[in-house]
Structure 1
Amino acid sequence: MKLQEMTAVMCHGPRDYRVERAAMPKAGPHEIVIRIGACGICASDCKCWQGASMFWEGPDGPYVKTPVIPGHEFFGYVHELGEGAGEHFGVALGDKVIAEQILPCNRCRYCTSGSYWMCERHYIYGFQKGFTDGGMAQFMRLASTARVHKIPQDLPLEACAIIEPLACAIHTVNRGTIELADTVVIAGAGPLGLLMTQVARLKTPKKLVVVDPLPARRDLALRYGADVAIDPRDGDAIQQVMGLTDGYGCDVYIETTGAPVGVRQGLQMIRKLGRFVEFSVFGEETTVDWSIIGDRKELDVRGAHLGPYCYPIAIDLLSRGLVTSDGIVTHRYALEQWDEALAMALSPDSVKVILIPSD
């Protein structure tokens, strides 16, 4: 007898997320249903819950369409195959899989030119009700345009749970085009910043610097290969970086704090003709004097969004032990413990919190 209902976290609006019984998803043609293995709580999930304007305000209405099951940092096991789905995705029942967080339309100018992660429709799992319901549930449907990747069966659960953020970290570090002689600064040692630290170390820059106010996270950054970990509250972080670079400033600055101060700090800390990479999702507007970008420094300012073409790389790095989840995944909760899990995700006492559905 097929299941008719499942347990899921349901977003009804800002600060209104509830654990509910929801209809079991069904696979249509070229679609699959996966049984969720784990789903991480992302900083963007926290900011969405808090009511950040980028999710709830806009000329065309809110980006988030409720009620919706949140969660885009998921992986799972193929539970049901729709007609032709096995051949379409190259998967079989029981395979361990992950889908990229964006569900591209495959029709707009960005999708048809290969830049699918900038899809004009821009549906991301966990933010629009219906076929983009996310992974904070026991089961989840992957639509026909999903970009699905197989995961080795022996890859541990914690490693599988960080494939999505690791793919984002890889893309962000790649946007910095790090060279051997570069001094690289990563601002923010949350889950993404710590994964970026591990990836940036693989690029072997001359010096890798991480800036974060929390001692435990600075210790992790050093463990993952940072040469220097700076507390921005203890002295002048900008001058410390200047001291490491003969007064010039860093070559590459990667901003992943999600706080306006991280942007302002970076514009002061980076050298002339440097590369500033912005990854964060902000909960408030950031104001800076743009003169420093053009007239004073002629900076190369680059955005980094999602993890295009990086999921196979992430899976490979984890499989070879070149990147680790040890120290990243710090807390595990059942779906029914959503309130407790969210509180921990918002707390400085955690790095990455994941939800693991019960059978």
Structure 2
Amino acid sequence: MRTVMVTGPGQTAVVEEPEPSCGPKDIVVKVKACGICGSDAHYTTIGGIPPRQGATPLGHEPAGMVIEVGAEVSGLSTGDHVVINPMSDPRGVIGNGGPTGALTDALLIKDAEVGRSVAIIPKDLPFEVAALNEPMAVAYHGVNRTNPKPGDKVVIFGAGPIGLGAAIAYQDKGAGHVIVVDIIGSRLDKALAIGADAVINSAEEDVAARIRALHGTGTDGIGAPRLGTDIYYDAAGVPQVIDTVMASAKHRATLVIVAVHKKPVPLDFGQILTSELTLVMSMGYPTEIFEVTQSIIANRDKYTRLISHRFPFVDALEALKVASTPGAADKVVVTFD
């Protein structure tokens, strides 16, 4: 079978490997779609994922069809369509340093268990949409970290896949008004298409003034005027986002950091003391990997809009290049015959 590997710094290749052997507690999934993540480009740049030696298999956003079921596995049958938790493999994370990656024809799922390692999805759900399950779980965890209440006013910075996934999640959870902020017009168009109440192009508009016009005003803990936003969601990872929130957050607003900030960001605690801002960090998906599956099933048309590029597996290496080129794509998905 074919598997995409990082074979050295800046080098990827499609490598022939033996087909997986299914044990009594395992299943084998024929991969039908796999998303490309920004981390895939990072692993390629550094030549793999230390401390693993040798080539590193890529791909951790899969959806597929069960083609083999071990004798001791319950609740799964050949032909089932599934999404996969890449964190569940006892040997190491799928596509993130473990011995397997999901950019492959067939993927062995060790110790397979419904609700822990896989979730069954409807057969009419397109595999390319189902392959958004893993990154959307990341977005969903960030939303959960903010403990949203019905009616909350939300501002999301960054209209990439994570930010847009968060916009859908906040709608699911009853947010009263969701604004999405970005500098790319096509991304803001997508935000409106998936149901955001308003968008702001931060390259052209005064962000704080527009938020004030849309969310009204609040105060900090001593009555000084602030913006009326309840929750800020950072999916952009740029210092200007933090500066805007620090200067504008009302009393006991919440800021969640989901994006990776590549440089240190200074914080003026004196500036935010009177706001009693709740600052939370968000990484991964401790419980959300299959919680988000139901949202994808229910909102498949919205999630479909997040996909900007589709490549057949024969062009998987080109898909990796496009996904790693800044500004070239939003969400890239590789599909299999």
Does the pair score TM above 0.5? yes
Question: Are residue 79 (structure 1) and residue 49 (structure 2) matched?
Answer: no
Task: Say if 1:239 and 1:351 are closer, same or farther in 2 by CA, change over 3 A.
Answer: same
1:30 CA drift (Å): 1.1
Residue in 2 that maps onto 1:344: 322
Moved over 6 A (4+): none
Amino acid at match of 2:56: V
* Partner SS state of residue 144, structure 1: coil
Contact 2:89 / 2:110 at 8 angstroms: preserved in 1?
Answer: no
Residue in 1 that maps onto 2:94: 125
Question: Are residue 47 (structure 1) and residue 26 (structure 2) matched?
Answer: no
* Partner SS state of residue 272, structure 1: coil
Distance 1:313 1:26 in 2: 30
Aligned pairs, how many?
324
Question: Are residue 356 (structure 1) and residue 335 (structure 2) matched?
Answer: yes
Contact 2:233 / 2:255 at 8 angstroms: preserved in 1?
Answer: yes
* Partner SS state of residue 251, structure 2: strand
Residue in 2 that maps onto 1:116: none
Distance 1:136 1:152 in 2: 22
Distance 1:260 1:143 in 2: 41
Distance 1:315 1:35 in 2: 19
Aligned CA-pair RMSD: 2.7
* Partner SS state of residue 20, structure 1: strand
1:213 CA drift (Å): 0.7
Amino acid at match of 1:334: P
Amino acid at match of 1:275: T
Amino acid at match of 1:70: L
Task: Say if 1:185 and 1:253 are closer, same or farther in 2 by CA, change over 3 A.
Answer: same
1:285 CA drift (Å): 2.6
Residue in 2 that maps onto 1:272: 251
Amino acid at match of 2:95: G
Contact 1:184 / 1:253 at 8 angstroms: preserved in 2?
Answer: yes
Q: Which residues of 2 match residues 280-359 of structure 1 at below 5 A?
A: 280-282=259-261, 284-291=262-269, 295-321=273-299, 324-345=302-323, 346-358=325-337
* Partner SS state of residue 248, structure 1: strand
Residue in 1 that maps onto 2:58: 70
Amino acid at match of 1:128: G
Residue in 1 that maps onto 2:231: 252
Amino acid at match of 2:5: M
Question: Are residue 217 (structure 1) and residue 187 (structure 2) matched?
Answer: yes
Distance 2:185 2:142 in 1: 24
Q: Select 1:200's aligned residue among 170, 184, 194.
A: 170
Uncovered stretches (5+) of structure 1, i.e. residues with no partner: 1-5, 57-61, 106-120
Task: Say if 1:205 and 1:293 are closer, same or farther in 2 by CA, change over 3 A.
Answer: farther
Question: Are residue 36 (structure 1) and residue 24 (structure 2) matched?
Answer: no
* Partner SS state of residue 271, structure 1: coil
Distance 1:207 1:298 in 2: 22
Q: Select 2:104's aligned residue among 113, 118, 137.
A: 137
Distance 1:202 1:129 in 2: 34
Q: Which residues of 2 match residues 225-236 of structure 1 at below 5 A?
A: 225-236=195-206
Percent identity over the alignment?
A: 27
Compute the TM-score of the two structures, normalised by the length of structure 2. 0.85
1:51 CA drift (Å): 4.2
Distance 1:260 1:83 in 2: 53
Contact 1:34 / 1:142 at 8 angstroms: preserved in 2?
Answer: yes
1:240 CA drift (Å): 2.7
Contact 1:159 / 1:324 at 8 angstroms: preserved in 2?
Answer: no
Contact 1:267 / 1:292 at 8 angstroms: preserved in 2?
Answer: no
Distance 1:13 1:200 in 2: 41
Distance 1:185 1:197 in 2: 9
Compute the TM-score of the two structures, normalised by the length of structure 1. 0.80
Distance 2:143 2:240 in 1: 21
Task: Say if 1:302 and 1:326 are closer, same or farther in 2 by CA, change over 3 A.
Answer: same
